[in-house]
Amino acid sequence: MAVHAGTRILDVGGPSPQVTRVIGVILHNWPLKLAAVGLATLLYGGLVLSQSSATLTGVVPIDVRNQPPDAFLLQSIRPVTEIRYFTPANVRPIESDFQAWVDLADVDPNGGPVSLPVHLESIDPRVRVLGFEPQNVTVDLDQLSDKVVPVEVDHGEAPPTMTLGDETIDPTQVHVIGPATVLERVTAPARLSSSSRRASTSTRTWSSSRSTASATPWRR
């Protein structure tokens, strides 16, 4: 800034010293810096050419982790069916080289179906996962419950020349464990069907010698 006859005159004819220093740093040895950028570009291009990206189509099961102990998984989880990956040119992974899972730690068993993100990784450090499908899956948990159900025998139709004799049911009730929403709908007794019959012509009686339950307890 210059002062002339009591009047201030701003001098804006050139860049400030700070700008001049920044420009000087950028342009200092600029041929060498340009050569370094070109060399880095060539090296990166060589790295890309030495590797390849591909898509694996197959089936990778999705594991369940951190499932609450009092929760029941109502439906199976569909697997990962497509994986896009990046590897060195001589590496070709297969389905068993990947592992996928969902985390159920924060899922409320009484909250209904929820969509959860799928986690997938390669157990081979040379393989880098670029993407996969599906990215999310639906998980439906239910509260695990139990119920005692009485047992009845379904005799079917006895031969016309025989009559039904005395019978003994053992056990008289079964303990069923499974999802609460399913057990709530169980109102009828567990029915048994006769798998073999023994007839006595002298007493003209018909009895059931062995019975099998038609209801199977749920398994987690």
Series of mean pLDDT values for 10-residue runs along the chain (220 residues): 51 62 67 75 60 85 92 91 90 93 91 93 93 95 82 73 73 78 71 48 34 39
Domain count, the chain: 3
Produce one character per residue of 34-73: b if its CB has 16 or more CB atoms within 10 Å, e if not.
eeeeeeeeeeeeeeeeeeeeeebeeebebebeebeeebbb
Instruction: Tell me how far apart the alpha carbons of residues 63 and 98 are, in angstroms, rounded to a whole number.
Output: 12
Rg (CA), the chain: 38
Instruction: Tell me how far apart the alpha carbons of residues 170 and 199 are, in angstroms, rounded to a whole number.
Output: 20
- Least Cα distance to 147 among 181, 171, 170 occurs for 181
Q: Is residue 183 assigned to a domain?
A: yes
pLDDT at site 181? 78
Q: Is residue 197 assigned to a domain?
A: yes
Domain boundary among 82, 110, 142: 142
Domain boundary among 142, 163, 193: 142
* CATH number of the structural domain spanning residue 56: 2.170.120.30
Q: 40 is in which domain, residue-wise?
A: 10-48
Residue 77: CB partners within 8 Å, gap ≥ 6? 62, 64, 102, 137, 139
What is the per-residue pLDDT across 68-80, written as a single tens digit (0 to 9) for each? 888 888 889 999 9
Instruction: Tell me how far apart the alpha carbons of residues 199 and 203 are, in angstroms, rounded to a whole number.
Output: 9
Q: Is residue 2 assigned to a domain?
A: no
- Given a contact cutoff of 8 angstroms between Cβ atoms, the answer to whether 78 and 62 are in contact is yes
Rounded to the nearest 5°, which phi and psi values hold at 133? -135, 135
pTM for this entry: 0.55
Q: Is residue 219 assigned to a domain?
A: no
Instruction: Tell me how far apart the alpha carbons of residues 135 and 132 are, in angstroms, rounded to a whole number.
Output: 6
- Given a contact cutoff of 8 angstroms between Cβ atoms, the answer to whether 29 and 68 are in contact is no
- Least Cα distance to 141 among 87, 204, 206, 66 occurs for 66
- Least Cα distance to 151 among 186, 195, 184 occurs for 186
